[in-house]
A and B are shown apart, each in its own frame.
Chain A
């Protein structure tokens, strides 16, 4: 790279610095003045809530069938095995008809990192990430959600569809 550095006399340099500085500050000030009158980008949060995208991962939900009120869970423990903060507590018993029944399903919303790993691995689509995100409470123990609080009644299971170009149901 060849550069010709012109010698400038110190006096000219002094006034050039002054002039350049004032000009640059003027340009900057003009830009900020422009923004003073442009529309603002703030969302006035509790009054106006933004539209959540379809894939939004909010609070966790445990799905029940809307028609007969039966839970979709088959008690396979897959979600427990993939939970990174290991916050899902699950208990199952073998019923009289030899079917496994989930008796306890608890999750601490405060520990949950909303990664949706559990939703992804669930073989029957019995879990869902809802669009609910205002889960703050005054009491820490209220963050532990049992089956009753997690319950959501749906028409069809929330199956994860891998983007492998097949299996479009």
Chain B
């Protein structure tokens, strides 16, 4: 069953008069899509986070500009972009300017691997999840670069913390996904989603818990926001940044958080699929295939909201405790999870083959 939107789009491209135009437009439109959509979503996300954190804290949040304050983030963006772009005197100017780009680009790049609906994926790589995580982890280099080049002690400490944190948390993050991969037998995200007749959360609750914790740490959100811990390091690695460069860091943070939510929904909550669509038969399949992008967006926003909710509840952990939490709790638990999953899947597949 084909997705109607994808079908219309393919027909449109194919009906173009000559071949080069087809190739150019066929590449350009998805690229523009993956660049603009996350950015536009970010404006929504910033507003939603501020509103939600205010609700948690018994406040109202931004509510004056537009319906419910929706345009507040546009005003803020305008304000940030109009600010002077300051580069401090002793900063390493090349790295200083390169760092925000290096933080921002991987965040956007991973959207090319992300299926947002049935057949709605830019590149269906067969090692997508692997590529996804390796590209996403490039962000850390950008953060270290920003911390180093700023020539500011707070920034440097923020950068160092970011790297230490990323090294510790990448391991349980990857290991927690191994469980899902074992169940699916494929590294392709599309395959992972399509095999989730029953959502993976019911089969891999522990893996989800570990994955969510590690991903929180990867995107530097409270309680793991050590690289930019406000009360300790002023603003961490982006202390010296202003104007457009700061905006890039800010956007990257939200894009990454959205990616977190997207990965959660893709790997554990059936991605674009309607809940229990295989039980509803044909209607369920149609719901999943045609309106997939809506379910995907709702699920992702739910996880984003959970991240904000956690931010409203928990204090920040300390560097050494962060490490000990990763190595003492998350790593053993994820290994245990792989062990159990491997045994069960092996037993099941073995039983079926004989």
Contact = CB atoms under 8 A, between A and B. Distances in A.
Would A and B touch once assembled, by the CB under 8 A criterion?
A: yes
A111 B54 CA distance: 35
Interface stretch (B163-171, B214-222, B307-315): B307-315
Given A18-B329, A40-B55, A32 B60 contact: no
Interface string B306-327: 0001101110000000000000
Contact of B58 (A25, A28, A33, A38): A38
A141 interface: no
Contacts of B329: 18
B59 A41 contact: yes
B56 interface: yes
A35 interface: yes
B263 interface: no
B57 interface: yes
Given A18-B329, A40-B55, A28 B60 contact: no
A29 interface: yes
B72 to A, nearest CB: 15
B52 interface: yes
A40 B59 CA distance: 5
Contacts of A35: 55-58
Contact of B309 (A18, A29, A38, A41): A29
Nearest to B332: A14
Given A35-B55, A36-B55, A42 B312 contact: no
Contacts, number: 37
Interface in B38-80: 52, 54-60, 63
Given A18-B329, A25-B314, A32 B309 contact: yes
B59 A32 contact: no
A44 interface: yes
A40 to B, nearest CB: 5
Contacts of B56: 32-33, 35-36
Interface in A11-63: 18, 25, 28-29, 31-33, 35-38, 40-42, 44
Contacts of B55: 35-37, 40
A44 B69 CA distance: 13
Contacts of B313: 25, 28-29, 31-32
A25 to B, nearest CB: 7
Nearest to A29: B313
A164 to B, nearest CB: 43
Contacts of A31: 313
A31 B57 CA distance: 11
Contact of B60 (A18, A29, A37, A42): A42
A31 B56 CA distance: 9
A1 B150 CA distance: 55
A35 B54 CA distance: 10
A42 B309 contact: no
Contacts of B54: 40
Contacts of A32: 56, 309, 312-313
A35 B312 CA distance: 11
A52 B54 CA distance: 26
Nearest to B64: A44
Contacts of B310: 29
Nearest to B56: A32
A44 B60 contact: yes
A42 B63 CA distance: 11
Given A42-B60, A44-B60, A36 B52 contact: yes
A31 B312 CA distance: 11
A18 B209 CA distance: 13
A31 B58 CA distance: 12
A57 to B, nearest CB: 28
A36 B314 CA distance: 15
Interface of B: 52, 54-60, 63, 309-310, 312-314, 329
14 contacts: A25-B313, A29-B309, A29-B310, A29-B313, A31-B313, A32-B309, A32-B313, A33-B56, A33-B309, A35-B56, A35-B58, A42-B58, A42-B59, A44-B60
The 5 A-B pairs of least Cβ separation, nearest first, read A42-B60, A32-B313, A36-B55, A32-B56, A28-B313
